[in-house]
Chain A
Amino acid sequence: MPFVESEGRPVEVNEEGFLVRPEEWTEEMAKHLARVEEGLAELTPEHWAVIRYIREYYLDKKLAPMVRKMCQATGFPLMKIYDLFPSGPAKGACKVAGLPKPDGCV
């Protein structure tokens, strides 16, 4: 499997750039994934609000939250999520938040 380098150490990702071991995620890693995978030069407080919520939800339930929950928790309208993460909630936001690849047609 491929690796990405973050803070001087290699971290394993799958062929699609999702972390293999979500527990290895750090905030620096999020910035790196956002830059490489989403083309986002900088993460704004709005990005972080979404990322932190997804992370908390995942650590609690071992599942990616549905986009409805992301919007409720952050107060953002639906379209805002797609504006913040060009690849969308699954391939964009969940990836930056260090979740493994969600199962299914995504």
Chain B
Amino acid sequence: MTRRRKVPSAVVDSPLDTRTQAKAKEDRLPSVEDGRLMTYEAGDNVGRFLALLAGRISRPLAVSMTACVHCGLCAESCHYFLTHPDDPTMTPVWKADQIRKIFKRYVDWTGRIAPWWVKAAAPEGDEDLNRLKNIVFGSCSACRRCTYNCPMGVDTGLLVRFTRGLLTELGIVPEGVFNVSRDQWETGNQMAVTEDDYLETLAWMRDEVRTELGTEAVEIPVDKPDCDVLYTINPREIKFDPRSIAYAAKIFHVAGESWTMPKWGWDQTNFGLFSGDDRLGAYVARNVYEAADRLRAKRIVISECGHGYRSTRWEGYDWAGYDQKRPTESVVVTLKRYLEEGRIDVDPSRNAEPVTFHDSCNIARSGDLVEEPREVLRRVCADFREMHPNRRENFCCTGGGGLLSMAEYRPLRLESAKIKADQLRATGAKLVCTMCHNCVDGLNDVIKHYQIPMKVVQVLELVSNALIVPPRRKA
């Protein structure tokens, strides 16, 4: 009998870095002082971890903890395993088993009676918890492709987020996750953009669109009550790439939309989704819902952001315990409506280059928004082509789950991105369009690393290119 050579695990061995946590404590940040933002403390962390775990098992979690039959179908759906086919620690089932065995040892009766029988085991110290951190933050982008392909209905994405949440409570988190959570708790947005910076950039983009269209009638209203649309964005649009705000403003102007942006509650992104911290999730989502209430807006529109869409449109109501009856939609759905109702006209020949579409995990698999972007793209592009697999079966950009903010796991992420690179190349498209800012950066990393001659664009940009501005909207 030949034995397969044992390959070393690709799980990244990254130590716990608490330097920015120490700085946050030293600066006596309010979120640290009042216990919203948790920091690492030496002590019985395993005990605290087990107590938290036992107190948080919901029915969906219990199903995912117990229903796995180790069939291996999840492995075939995971980009980490498909690019590391000899490494069992890259399979979703192995990653989920690392929390499952703790659950079995302390919660499930089988493991309490016969731990050796069901492979139940306990973490022994902070080292083990840190390794768990490297597994759930560093070797899974929480894309839920395995969840979608599980015949037993096991939600490995849910288990990963749950485990991340327990570790976040103990401050056993990657530095990048801590930093972004800190900024969102402290400033209400994930890039610590000040109100002045926000208002200044909006005024700047308004002036840019005024110049482009040659009319002073263009506005980017802030805190205007009783509008049809409350437009919320990703802070990176203010800080590093406001072009998307200009595209939206131009299209809203031409469509004659009654819209506003809120002075507070404008960040629709939510690091609570990535860190597993439901309290942060509740705080950020509530800011958006309350802004819509305060301004009596008819609907909330979310700019092109995958995890922001999932958080604000789906998960946030639950986290915040908010009775949110107001329609909440992606701006791509708004654009589709404009096209259907004839509120905007487009000329697809202005987007002549071949375009393919990358479904964001949080929008397609976890957000159920699949055909809408395609309907828009077919109207505004001359040559639209699918990549394969696509829709809910698409592969992650590899930067999901907050991984873009965790540089320590980047080499493993780029290795696993080979599958994405092959998928992109096979389309022969010159442009890859995605409705997620995070995917923009994830895809750009893949394109740069694998030297693919492609450019990443978003739906708003393509619609803005194709937009026919009628004379009455000009002067």
Contact = CB atoms under 8 A, between A and B. Distances in A.
Contact of B191 (A71, A87, A104): A104
A105 interface: yes
Given A103-B180, A105-B236, A66 B243 contact: no
A66 B407 contact: no
A103 B183 contact: yes
A17 B165 CA distance: 29
Contacts of A102: 191, 239-240
B115 to A, nearest CB: 38
B274 to A, nearest CB: 10
Contact of A15 (B269, B411, B448): B411
B405 A14 contact: no
Interface string B253-269: 00000000000000001
Nearest to B412: A15
B297 interface: no
* Most A Cβ at <10 Å: residue of B197, B201, B239, B408: B239
A106 B240 contact: yes
A89 interface: yes
Nearest to B305: A105
A16 interface: yes
Given A68-B242, A105-B269, A106-B441, A14 B407 contact: yes
A6 to B, nearest CB: 20
A22 interface: no
Contacts of A49: none
Contacts of A90: 236, 239-240
A16 B441 contact: no
B15 to A, nearest CB: 11
B418 interface: no
* Most B Cβ at <10 Å: residue of A18, A67, A91, A104: A104
Given A103-B176, A103-B180, A105-B437, A78 B242 contact: yes
B450 to A, nearest CB: 15
Contact of A16 (B191, B197, B410, B437): B410
A24 to B, nearest CB: 17
* Most B Cβ at <10 Å: residue of A16, A67, A90, A101: A67
A59 interface: no
Contacts of A103: 176, 179-180, 183, 190-192, 405
Contact of A87 (B404, B410, B444): B444
A67 B235 CA distance: 12
B438 interface: yes
Interface residues of A, number: 22
For the residues of A in contact with B, the DSSP-based class is loop
A91 to B, nearest CB: 7
A106 B180 CA distance: 11
Interface in A54-106: 63-64, 66-68, 71, 78, 87-91, 101-106
Contacts of B183: 103-104
A63 B305 CA distance: 24
B444 A66 contact: no
A53 to B, nearest CB: 15
A88 B183 CA distance: 22
Nearest to B194: A66
Contact of A105 (B200, B201, B234, B243): B234
A104 B408 CA distance: 15
A79 B353 CA distance: 21
B315 to A, nearest CB: 17
Contacts of B441: 91, 105-106
Interface in B368-421: 404-405, 407-411
A101 B349 CA distance: 39
Contacts of A87: 444, 448
Interface string B220-246: 000000000000001110111111000
Contacts of B179: 103
* Most B Cβ at <10 Å: residue of A66, A71, A78: A66
A87 B240 CA distance: 11
B69 to A, nearest CB: 37
A67 B404 contact: no
A31 B165 CA distance: 42
Contacts of A78: 208, 242-243
B322 interface: no
A67 B240 contact: yes
B193 interface: yes
A89 B243 contact: no
Interface pairs A-B: 6 shortest CB-CB = A15-B410, A103-B179, A15-B407, A104-B191, A90-B240, A14-B407
Given A66-B238, A66-B239, A106-B236, 5 more contacts: A16-B407, A88-B241, A103-B180, A104-B183, A105-B405
Interface of A: 14-16, 18, 63-64, 66-68, 71, 78, 87-91, 101-106
Interface of B: 176, 179-180, 183, 190-193, 197, 200-201, 204, 208, 234-236, 238-243, 269, 305, 404-405, 407-411, 437-438, 441, 444, 448
15 contacts: A66-B193, A66-B197, A67-B240, A78-B242, A90-B236, A102-B240, A103-B192, A104-B180, A104-B235, A104-B239, A105-B190, A105-B234, A105-B235, A105-B269, A105-B437
